[in-house]
Structure 1
Amino acid sequence: MSTRASVADVRGRPAFQRGARLGYAANGVLNLAIGWLALQVAWGAGSEEASATGALRTLAGTPVGGFLLWVLLVGFALLGLWQLTTALLGGRTGERLKAAGKGVVYLALAVAAYGVVDQGGSGSSGSGGSSEAGWTADLMAQPLGRLLVAAVGAGVIAVGAYHVHKGWTRTFLRDLREHPGPWVVRAGRLGYVARGVAFGVVGGLFVAAAATADPDRAQGLDGALQTLRDAPFGQWLLTIVALGFVAYGVYSFVRARVGRV
């Protein structure tokens, strides 16, 4: 049996498909937690950073935190592998690259979940902003480093724009086997647009870091949400974005049930 046939065989197994659905549900839990942390950032409550790692640490602090993190870890890992099989099985180049990128992201989330479990729920002690600034400084030190940082920022902005377009035009419905009902459509639209706005701000911060040669301006999701909060009417704008993350979490639960796998 060829490698391609072997991958197709594994991908078609019900257990593997159920694992991918578990991953979508895990993504729903993660986005609910990020939305909750973003609300706290908006209104000056809480001390945990509004990021994937911060959300995982928050979940670790719940009564079922240890068990929940292992479930998320398995779900993210299986969904990541499922996306990689999508990339391996062919199709249009753009679709394959998109699937490969998603696979890497979900596997990175699985690694992050393991990191929080391994450190007893505390995760990394460093802030997300200092982490981004650190590797941005390293990248800027390379030949054409500022251009590379700007390219990273432009790529993240493009991802954000894609999310906004996907939400606004409802094209995310193509990912589902059946129409989920009007309330889920509204949740999906708000979720995709809100995440797109957040990603766009992240990308903008990297472009600003490249333009000013200041790596400290490069921030992750938590820094982007704080930037939104500090804008005019920022508390209300960030509140809408936070509710968007919650809405995306709800949509992800529905996708876990009726999504195409």
Structure 2
Amino acid sequence: MREEGAVAAPQRPLVDRVVRHGAVHRAAKTGFVVSGMLHLLIGYVITRINLGRGGHADPSGALETVAARSDGVVILWAVAVALVPLTVWRLTEALLGLHPAEGGRDPHDASVASRLKALGLLAVYCGVGYTTVRFAVGSRQSSSEQNAGLSAILMQTGLGRVALAGVGVVVMVVGGYFAYKGASRNFLGDLTTPGNPMIVVLGVYGYVAEGIVLCLAGLLVIVAAIRVDPQQATGLDAAVKALGATQAGSVLLAFAALGFAAYGLYSFALARYARM
């Protein structure tokens, strides 16, 4: 029996209770495993490029490696399905704000930065999911080829070039955020056990390395928009190959490959320790 004057705990909305269910969390965390696999494969493709064997250093290149297997179609569909709950989770996180802001008591008192981060990750997972389905149904056009085609269309007008340069700025901001998050170790707030030294090393190196490559990718998009050169506006693949074309290309590509591999292993840790 409740004491007189006691205040009843507020009832969470149904959608909030559903997304906080343990089964939903477990399903969403499978997406981190998929993300880890893709990052390891991208690291592998970058290593192949470093050895002169070619390839596309982006999610499509990783998925192309999977598609070449005899059971590749089955794996691709499994990847696409596994990304669904994680994508839905990020959408819910962006809309409802499932994590409180620093010092906040209300779980819905999420910071704007947290919501924007979730929205950015939502766009990434949607893009990877779309590419996965394309490969599963037989399309083999790489993301870099698609980006070059779209960039060529946008570059036909001044407004399109401005929009493309804006995309480059956004990619640079995301890359800068990744590098800052790794260097400042802010990612430890995403973990339920932030003290594991191995996870800390993987997170710092993975975030910083991937952030640097993304910054370069965004810069190349801006330069491509200014020079009206759609072949430079191909995203991650162009950034990796630009690194390889420098005097210290071999060392820089090894740095990038290890960085994506480190982030992949960190993603596996997220599958177990992510704060959701």
Assess same fold via TM > 0.5.
Answer: yes
Correspondence 1:144 to 2:163: no
Match of 1:158 in 2: 173
Deviation digits for residues 125-176 of structure 1, max 9, x if unmatched?
3x43332222122223345222222111111111111111111111111110
Distance apart, 1:62 and its partner CA? 3.5
Structure having the higher helix fraction is 1
Contact 2:58 2:237 in 1 (8 A): yes
Contact 2:64 2:140 in 1 (8 A): no
Paired letter, 2:130? V
Correspondence 1:89 to 2:96: yes
Aligned-residue Cα RMSD (Å) equals: 1.8
Deviation digits for residues 27-63 of structure 1, max 9, x if unmatched?
0000000000001111212x43121011012123345
**Residue 160 to residue 11, structure 1, CA distance change in 2 (3 Å):** same
Correspondence 1:128 to 2:143: yes
Residue aligned with 1:177, SS: coil
Correspondence 1:65 to 2:72: yes
Paired letter, 2:87? G
Under a length normalisation based on structure 2, what TM-score does the superposition of the two structures give?
A: 0.86
Distance apart, 1:244 and its partner CA? 0.7
Correspondence 1:11 to 2:19: yes
Question: Which 5+ residue runs of structure 2 have no aligned equivalent?
Answer: 1-11, 98-109
Higher-Rg structure is: 2
Q: Distance in 2 between matches of 1:245 and 1:29?
A: 10
Contact 2:38 2:264 in 1 (8 A): yes
Paired letter, 1:51? D
Q: Distance in 2 between matches of 1:63 and 1:210?
A: 40
Q: Distance in 1 between matches of 2:241 and 2:119?
A: 30
Residue aligned with 2:13, SS: helix
Question: Which 5+ residue runs of structure 1 have no aligned equivalent?
Answer: none
Deviation digits for residues 191-243 of structure 1, max 9, x if unmatched?
11111111111101111012212223212211111100001211111111101
Contact 2:178 2:208 in 1 (8 A): yes
Deviation digits for residues 81-112 of structure 1, max 9, x if unmatched?
10000011143333222212211221221222
Alignment of structure 1 residues 167-206 onto 2, 5 Å: 167-179=182-194, 181-206=196-221
Residue aligned with 1:232, SS: coil
Correspondence 1:75 to 2:82: yes
**Residue 131 to residue 194, structure 1, CA distance change in 2 (3 Å):** same
Correspondence 1:51 to 2:58: yes
Contact 2:56 2:144 in 1 (8 A): no
Paired letter, 1:168? A
